[in-house]
Structure 1
Amino acid sequence: MSGEPGGSPPVDPPVVTGTHAQLPSEAEQAQVHRRTLTVVVISQILGGAGLAAGISVGALLAEDMLGSQGLSGLPTGLFTLGSALAAYLVGRSTHRLGRRLGLAHGFLAGGLGAFGVVLAAVADSVPLLFVSLFVYGSGTATNLQARYAGSDLAPEHRRGFGTSIAMVATTVGAVAGPNLIEPMGVVAGAVGVPALAGPFILSGAAYGAAGVVLFIFLRPDPYLLATRIAAGRLAASAVPGSTPGPVPTVGAGAWVGATVMVLTQLVMVAVMTMTPVHMRAHGHDLGAVGVVIGAHIAAMWLPSPITGVLVDRLGRTPMVVAAGVTLLGAGVVAALAPGDSLGLLILALVLLGLGWNVGLLTGTTLVVDATDPRNRARTQGTIDVLVALAGAGGGVSSGLVLAASSYQALALGGGLLSLTLVPVLLWARARHAVPA
């Protein structure tokens, strides 16, 4: 295989035909894993910047275009609903074609949707806004799916860490994005685009660049290589002349992990989406919104290496409990914080992001524990559909709850809901062999 632009020649995946000698050594597998993490880190930095726009100003843009606070959660609902479809398609594409093509296409679609939002704002077209936000959700789903690439070739005792490295890279772009709200608004105004659509210009460029990086450099494909290694080892250990056994069933731990991720996503998206609306109603400007959301996104991604190590060392159960308790703390602080208190709002959103981080990383590790490379990608795609639907439900319902009640009721209700993670986990451990 020829070298790639801007990098060293890739390591060709080994040809696995069932002979043990043809399988890669642990050192060779580790080398490919390190290369994979490097490429994923670069793409996630770019993808994080693309992710930030919809989170930061999507609700505000919708409120201006629709003229209704009750519908301000609709953008989050639309792009998370779009991410549900994208998660399904990326999972199926990964199963058949590998991570490289699945992730690259997902990011490129997200970039197209971001530029569509800009056009919708310029034309003041609500139908185009809805369609574009739906497509923009592809970037969100792909940004989450990329975390699995970090665990494809990781040894069992390092799965949490491998996932965390893919996640922490998002921090750089995701934190920079909200803090570019005002500068991008100035840029947008200079070219005749509404200020609130400015961050979506950044999103379109960032998502597109992430897709190009993955398409060019994610070679060899980590998922396809992991599948070949698993098949080769199975063939090497089989009795000569015997037929291959069936693909193992998905363990109960995968659905426990799915439940953890679904609940943490629902709570996080609901509270996060309405925070900018709540802040603007209390006189905070876009700069303050950017600071709060930037701190929130930093807490979502930055602790990942520490969280990954804790998941590997302390176990899955303590970390699920920690996620539930942290999200409850976020809800309580947000509910009690005065509307004009920037410091307490930052604290609440930091706790919200940290609880989500712990829940997502622990849930992801539970899914990897309970699956085999031959059924992993499809299972991951299916579960991420559920996670995305939970986010869509949280985004749409959050605006309705805010309009009918208050931000305080929304925040406290989300915190209390997160505590259901604890009985769900205890029940699953009592009924099924779920890793501790």
Structure 2
Amino acid sequence: MSSPLALQRRTVVLLCTAQVLGGLSMGGALALGAILGEELSGTDSMAGLPTTVVTLGAAAAGLPLASLAAGRGRRPALTTGLLIAGFGTLTVAVAVDHGWFVVMLIGMAGLGSGSAVSLQARFAATDLSSAGTRGRDLSLVVWTTMVGAVIGPAVVPFGATVAGWFAMTDLSGPFLVGAAGCFGAAAVLFAGLRPDPLVMALGETDGSRTTVSLADGLSAIVHTPPARAAMAAVVSAHAVMVGVMALTPVHMHHGGASVTLVGLSISAHIAGMYALAPVMGLLSDRAGRIPVILGGQAVLVVSCVIGFVFAESQTGLVVALVLLGVGWSASTVAASALLTDSVDTARRAPAQGVSDTSMSLAGAAAGALAGIIVGTFGYPALVLGAAVVAVVTAAYVVLDGVRDRRRSAMA
């Protein structure tokens, strides 16, 4: 039997490998979603629908996969999610080849399961970690998400070649490659994630069932002040990030920015989200979870203020997008570690599932609401409102901590 440290290192390596492979499908979906929505529906009003469906698919998969993890372990949960994503991606490829818009959306919903797996993989990296390395281990899995996000769009040209092998349309190819990535990631985790990290953490026999429910996970969050603060931080940071990120490229394009500049700004934003994740993990381990969460919210506020002041400056908006990603990274990594710290091992998986599903739903709602706000009040109102959300969240995290310390002192 390997030592706990060796098992933990091996688990993190396997999870990172799966993140890269699974990221091929997600990167392709994000790169081509709007194009497919417009081409298959015949109207540009449907361009954003495929990406929205992916987000909703992730939200729908989050709780069932968390429940499966609580009852059977990480290996079956993550593998099942990747298999669903793989078949969903294949469905998209076939639908694109035949021009089936509705079937394409169904496939995109299945593909969203891969996003849910990506979120839960960061928590799987903490099952066997110590409190002092939890942020670091979690952040390494978050960091490798960037690799998949970068490689995914890059395989579009190769995907066209693959499509040619099967006499399919060029736009089907990237999804064929993405499906292979999902199935490959599922095989890596199914074969390699033994012993199961969550089962080991619970001290159970592999494959055993537990009586912990999703309601237990929600209860753990509601009745644990640090967990409440963590969930508030991760949900609000994701809502702010998605809402502002979704409309800033459109605002830039309307302001005269070229498609190339818009694409580069999104790449810079993604780099801000993931490139510094290991740094945020180390900081949260050494400086504490709450300070890094508050620092992340502060960076989100600065990003929004820059977007407000320099709403007509392309350079200013690019800077705002980069800082938006950095603030999201700090808040998400530290809050995810805090949530894991705050909930006992038995209820950890369902609590994490509740958090992930809430995060995905908040992102979907923010993306939809952002369009309404910009259409009605303009882009400056969007970033100003997002800044207010970040300020309120930071205040809640501080006040909740103060109340918790007072209750502990009285007890």
Q: Which structure features the higher share of helix residues? A: 2
Deviation at residue 277 of structure 1 after TM alignment:
4.1
**Distance in 2 between residues matched to 1:407 and 1:249, nearest whole Å:** 38
Query: 2:200 is matched by which residue type in structure 1?
Result: L
**2:209 alignment counterpart:** none
Shift of 1:345: 4.2
For the pair 1:104 / 2:74, whether they are aligned, the reply is no
Structure 2 counterparts to residues 404-415 of structure 1, below 5 A: 404-415=376-387
One-letter amino acid of the counterpart of residue 343, structure 2: T
**1:74–1:416 distance in 2 versus 1, CA, 3 Å:** farther
Residue number in structure 2 paired with 1:308: 281
Give 2:202's aligned residue: 227
Q: How far has the Cα of 1:416 moved from its partner? A: 3.1
Q: 1:432 to 1:64 in 2, by over 3 A?
A: farther
Shift in Å at residue 126 of structure 1? 2.6
Q: Secondary structure at the match of 1:323?
A: helix
Find the residue that maps to 1:53 and give its secondary structure: helix
Give aligned pairs, total: 393
1:392 match:
364
* Amino acid across the alignment from 1:389: L
SS of residue matched to 1:160: helix
Q: Quickly say closer, same or farther: Cα 1:59–1:259, change in 2 above 3 A.
A: farther
1:256 pairs with one of 229, 244, 266? 229
| Structure 1 pair 420–205 and aligned structure 2 pair: CA distance change class (3 A) | farther
3-state SS of 1:52 partner: helix
Whether 2:103 is the aligned partner of 1:128: answer yes
* Code of the aligned partner of 1:102: A
Deviates more, 1:80-89 or 1:50-59: 50-59
Q: Which residue of 1 aligns with 2:271?
A: 298
For 1:198 and 1:221, the matched residues in 2 are separated by: 34
2: distance between equivalents of 1:68 and 1:399? 17
Partner in structure 2 of residue 41 of structure 1: 16
| Per-residue Cα deviation, 1:298-355 (whole angstroms, up to 9, x for no partner) | 22222111101111111122212211121223333444556783x5444332212111
Confirm or deny: 8 A CA contact 1:181 1:287 kept in the other structure: no
Q: Output the CA distance in 2 between the equivalents of 1:112 and 1:333.
A: 42
Residue 332 of structure 1 corresponds to: 305
Matched with 1:138 is 113
SS for the counterpart of 1:37 is helix
RMSD: 3.1
Partners of 2:154 and 2:309 in 1: how far apart?
Answer: 26
Q: Is the 1:72–1:399 contact (alpha carbons within 8 Å) kept by the matching residues of 2?
A: no
Closer, same or farther: CA 128–49 of 1 in aligned 2, 3 Å: same
The match for 2:208 is none
Tell me the percent identity. Answer: 33
**Equivalent position to 1:416, from 366, 371, 388:** 388
From 354, 364, 367, the counterpart of 2:326: 354
Kept in 2: contact 1:176–1:294 (CA 8 A):
no
The verdict on how the C-alpha distance between 1:32 and 1:281 changes in structure 2, with shifts beyond 3 A counting, is: same
How far is the alpha carbon of 1:413 from its aligned partner? 2.8
**Whole-Å separation in 2 of the counterparts to 1:289 and 1:189:** 30
List aligned pairs for 1:190-209, cutoff 5 A.
192-193=168-169, 195=171, 199-209=174-184
Change (3 A) 1:209 1:403: farther
The answer to whether structure 1 residue 323 and structure 2 residue 299 are counterparts is no
Q: Is the contact between residue 307 and residue 380 of structure 2 (CA under 8 Å) also seen in structure 1?
A: yes
Q: 1:268 aligns with which of 228, 241, 247?
A: 241
> Any stretches of 5+ residues in structure 2 without a counterpart?
206-215
Instruction: Give the letter for the 1:193 counterpart.
Output: T
Query: Which residue is 1:4 aligned to?
Result: none
Of 114, 119, 135, which residue of structure 1 is paired with 2:89?
114
Q: Which runs of 5+ in 1 are unaligned?
A: 1-10, 13-27, 231-245
| Amino acid paired to 1:355 | G
1:207/1:353 Cα in 2 relative to 1: closer, same or farther (>3 Å)?
Answer: farther
How far 1:372 moved relative to its partner? 1.3
Q: Which amino acid aligns with 2:88?
A: G
Asked whether 1:156 is paired with 2:131, we answer yes
Distance verdict in 2 for CA 1:303–1:178, change over 3 Å: same
Q: Tell me the SS of whatever aligns to 1:432.
A: helix
* 1:215-259 CA distance string (max 9 Å, x none): 1111111110011089xxxxxxxxxxxxxxx99955222121111
Q: Residue 129 and residue 194 in structure 1: after superposition, are their counterparts in 2 closer, same or farther (change >3 A)?
A: same
Give yes or no for contact 2:159–2:170 (8 Å, CA) kept in 1: no
TM-score (norm 1): 0.80
SS in 2 for 1:156: coil
1:425 alignment partner in structure 2: 397
Distance, in Å, in 2 between the alignment partners of 1:336 and 1:176 is: 34
